[in-house]
Amino acid sequence: MTVAEAHCPECDYQGVLNLEDFGIGSYEYWGAKGTHRDFRWACPVCGIEIPTDIISCEEEYPYDDDPRV
């Protein structure tokens, strides 16, 4: 599993980040049902999304397949 680390600009937390789903969840559009997922790195203390340009990690995503699909 990939470990992402960064410095949070909001609360000054320095350490390992959480991978959180910022998607809207279940939806229905003209009768078609689906689930929107949007995985992004977030601070475990304050919960804000961390910009990708300040994250240091080995891989972009911690899974073999892209979780955004």
Question: What pLDDT digit, counting tens, does each position of 8-29 carry?
Answer: 888 988 988 888 898 999 999 9
Over residues 47-58, the pLDDT tens digits come to: 899 888 887 765
Q: Whole-angstrom Cα distance, residue 44 to residue 18?
A: 6
pTM confidence score: 0.65
The pLDDT of residue 34: 95
Residue in 50, 45, 22, 23 with CA at minimum distance from that of residue 35: 23
Residue in 50, 63, 41 with CA at minimum distance from that of residue 11: 50
Angle at CA 66, nearest 5°, toward 29 and 49? 80
What residue spans define the domains of the chain? 5-54
